[in-house]
Amino acid sequence: MVEGLTLVSALAAAASALAVIMSRDIMRAALALILTLLALAGVYAGLGAYFLAAVQVIVYAGGIMVLFLFVMMVLKSRREPVFGGGSPRLYRAAAWLAGGLMLVSLLGVWEYGIGGKYPGTRQAGPSLGEIAGFLFGEYVLPFELVGLLLFVTLVAVMALARRDDS
């Protein structure tokens, strides 16, 4: 049951990711991306990583996509040719690169597999307390570094977006 739901979310993510790349209207691409991110949150939940699913919904589908939509409203040009203007060489290179990447990874999965059975949600989910202990114990340095990065980002964005009147 849960496994089936996970597969359905995975299919939804794959289809809407295609829509992100193919849609002509940038707003539609953004909406498809939101759908992809939500479906991926479903996949994470199906794997038992509930905390990650919540973070995905809040940070990605909530925060990042709001930023995208906001900038989309600031910028004017919304329509664009889907794959406009590039040289045929570029198309061929992109096709070979993506196709080769897919082929190599499919062969790898075919040959070795990532591993056995569906892990299910039961044995998986670490509790919030465990996660917090991990974040503020063993992994406190990366955690604080991320905090520093976000702070620097805040300052940088304010400096970049400020109108230079003087």
Partner 1 sequence: MTVNALAILSFWLFALGVVGVLLRRSPLAVFMSIELMLNGANILLVLALKRAGFAASVLPGMLGAFLVIAVAAAEVAVGLAIMVAVYRYSSEVDLDSSTSLKG
Contacts (CB under 8 A) with partner 1, residues 15-74: 17-18, 20-21, 26, 29-30, 33, 36-37, 40, 43-44, 47-49, 51-52, 55-56, 59-60, 63-64, 67-68, 70-72, 74
Return the closest-CA partner of residue 52 out of 60, 164, 1, 71: 60
Return the closest-CA partner of residue 50 out of 117, 135, 126: 126
Which CB atom, from 97 or from 166, has the smaller least distance to partner 1? 97
C-beta of 122: minimal distance to partner 1 in Å?
Answer: 12
Asked whether position 5 contacts partner 1 by CB under 8 A, the answer is no
Structure tokens at 43: 């996949």
Contact predicate 3/46, CB 8 Å: yes
Q: Count residues binding partner 1 (CB under 8 A).
A: 84
* Count of helix runs (H) and strand runs (E) in the chain: 7, 0
C-beta of 20: minimal distance to partner 1 in Å?
Answer: 6
Cβ-based neighbour number of residue 53 at 10 Å? 20
Which CB atom, from 116 or from 166, has the smaller least distance to partner 1? 116
Cβ-based neighbour number of residue 8 at 10 Å? 14
Contacting partner 1 within 97-156 (CB under 8 A): 97-99, 101-102, 105-106, 109, 113-119, 124, 126, 130-131, 134-135, 139, 142, 146, 149-150, 153-154, 156
Residue selected from 128, 136, 140, 157 as contacting partner 1 according to rule CB under 8 A: 157
Contact predicate 42/5, CB 8 Å: yes
